[in-house]
Amino acid sequence: MNSLPCSPGVDFKKLSLMEALDLAVTVEEEARDRYVELADALSIAHTPEASEFFRKMARMEEKHRVALLTKRRASFGDRPSTVGRLQIFDIEAPDYDTVRVFMTVRQALEVALQSERKARAFFKAALAETTDLEARFLFAELVAEESDHEAYVLAELARQATDPWGDPPGDPADYSDEPVSQ
């Protein structure tokens, strides 16, 4: 079976277009949920700007998911999805350890950048493994789209760099109170 480490149980050699679409939808769904989770954690931890940025990312991933889902429904209707969340591990979703209390928006952008790159690499690898022509075409499209996302994040980063305040030096936590005990 030709599976990738972060998507155990998915056999790319035999992947059909519908299965590839299901996979892509699930990847976007996971990324959306993760951004919401991280945004929640950051907002509880009084890091509102980064939190807000992650919510924006969540909205973006949701848009992408809906687009893919529409495509899938158009071709294959409401047949149950062939890929479940149990087979998807942090493909586009940022790892939990990428966030920190009091992180800046710039740092949050870096997280998103890494995630988009991670996703692109995944779809690229999938493209290499997959034999079905239509599925290959989809993965190629996804690689391109993730590149676009990456470009968007890079542009945002560039805009941030012109921020007259810049990033605080060192660990942002140095400028804060101790975390509050329960």
Partner 1 sequence: MDTATTTCGATATPKDYSSALKPIWCPGCGDYGVLQALYRALAAIGRPPHEIAFISGIGCSSRIPGYTTAYGFNSVHGRALPIAQGVKLANPDLQVIVAGGDGDGFSIGGGHVAHAVRRNLDLTYLVMDNQVYGLTKGQLSPTSPKGLATVTSPLGSLEEPINPLLYTLAYGAGFVAQGTPAEMPGLTALIEQAIRYPGFAFVNIQSPCVTFGQEEQQMRAHKAHLRPLASLGHDPSDQLRALDLARSYGKELHTGVLYRNPNPPPTYDALVRERQRALAPEAKDRSRLLDVFLQK
- 74/86 with CB nearer partner 1: 86
Q: How far is the CB of 76 from partner 1 (least distance, A)?
A: 19
Q: How far is the CB of 4 from partner 1 (least distance, A)?
A: 10
Q: How far is the CB of 25 from partner 1 (least distance, A)?
A: 14
List all residues 6 or more positions away from 22 whose beta carbon is below 8 Å from its beta carbon: 72, 81, 82, 83
Binding site for partner 1 (CB under 8 A): 5-6, 8-9, 37-38, 40-42, 44-45, 47, 84-87, 89-90, 95-101, 103, 173, 178-179, 181-182
Nearest to 90 by CA among 98, 100, 81: 98
- 1/133 with CB nearer partner 1: 1
The upper half-sphere exposure of residue 52, i.e. CA atoms within 13 Å in the direction of its Cβ, equals 7
- 50/127 with CB nearer partner 1: 50
Q: How far is the CB of 148 from partner 1 (least distance, A)?
A: 27
Handedness of CA 166, 172, 175, 176 (dihedral sign): positive
- 162/181 with CB nearer partner 1: 181
Torsion angle of C-alpha atoms 163, 32, 172, 161, degrees rounded to 10:
-20
Q: How far is the CB of 144 from partner 1 (least distance, A)?
A: 27
- 99/126 with CB nearer partner 1: 99
